[in-house]
Copies of this chain bind each other. A is one copy, B any other.
């Protein structure tokens, strides 16, 4: 009887210690590999644990992630199955985040000569970029893209974080004509900010033909840059599944591209009155 109690006690403590050891490690691994199918064998091998224990760990993480809006954990059964962490940004969190961002961007100190808006510090902020990337990932994940495409420079952090959340490669179109990466394709485009004809180019090897892609950028006014990217991607026979833009302008109403998903709408930059009007796009 004493032996039995001892054994049970030991079993209890060992099991409890193992679970509390496993859960932080499994959580970390899932978070670092979003939208990636991970076999449960990976964890059973790593921890030398039974599959049933790992399954229970994953269920616990899944339930609490679901409850607190930390993302969806999907389990796929069968021999080719496993677990996938899908980052999700809850409606309420998205609203709060975009409200905060709009507030920061309406600081009159951000008005640049020519009526432009300084937002470089925010798009280069890794925390901001990650949240925007997760919002774009959530919006586009069902279209099953294979690549995230952006143009240098200011779209890169947002596109990188989108690619990370979707577990996809990032492809960066070069602005201008520096070709140090072998054979490339170039197109001319009209930059909305400078009204000049510019050139953008993409190395052949960066993107296989017939790929499914999404475009991510920080800003859209007339849509000339996005239009240029679509033209360029057409040369790669790519299928553009969607365009994600952090800030687009209210004017001009008619853009050079038809379908895009933007998070913030810049209504007006009044250089005289030192006033910026910007607000989240309600979807």
Q: Is the CB of B70 within 8 A of A118?
A: no
Are A163 and B64 also in contact (CB < 8 A) when A27-B28, A31-B28, A156-B153 are?
no
Q: Is the CB of B153 within 8 A of A120?
A: no
Query: Bound complex: CA of A113 vs CA of B183, how far in Å?
Result: 10
Partner of A124, one of B161, B171, B182, B205: B171
A residues 167-214 near B (Cβ < 8 Å) are: 169-172, 174, 176, 180-182, 193-194, 203, 205-206
- Interface residue A65 (Cβ < 8 Å from any Cβ of B): yes
The residue among A24, A63, A124, A182 with the most chain B CB atoms within 10 A of its own CB is: A24
Q: B residues within 8 A CB of A92?
A: none
- Interface residue A20 (Cβ < 8 Å from any Cβ of B): yes
Chain B: CB-nearest residue to A61: B24
Query: Bound complex: CA of A103 vs CA of B70, how far in Å?
Result: 36
Query: Bound complex: CA of A181 vs CA of B73, how far in Å?
Result: 42
Q: B residues within 8 A CB of A120?
A: 172, 181, 203, 206
Chain B: CB-nearest residue to A68: B25
Chain B: CB-nearest residue to A46: B68
Question: What's the minimum C-beta distance from A66 to chain B, rounded to whole angstroms?
Answer: 11
- Interface residue A112 (Cβ < 8 Å from any Cβ of B): yes
- Interface residue A116 (Cβ < 8 Å from any Cβ of B): yes
A residues 134-173 near B (Cβ < 8 Å) are: 152-153, 156-157, 160-161, 163-164, 169-172
At the interface, is chain A mostly helix, strand, loop or mixed? helix
A residues contacting the other copy or chain, number (CB 8 A): 53
- Interface residue A125 (Cβ < 8 Å from any Cβ of B): yes
Query: Bound complex: CA of A31 vs CA of B194, how far in Å?
Result: 41
- Interface residue A114 (Cβ < 8 Å from any Cβ of B): yes
Q: B residues within 8 A CB of A60?
A: 20-21, 24
Query: Bound complex: CA of A41 vs CA of B60, how far in Å?
Result: 24
Instruction: Give A contacts to B, CB under 8 Å.
Output: 19-21, 23-25, 27-28, 31-32, 60-61, 63-65, 67-68, 70, 112-114, 116, 118, 120-121, 124-127, 129-130, 152-153, 156-157, 160-161, 163-164, 169-172, 174, 176, 180-182, 193-194, 203, 205-206
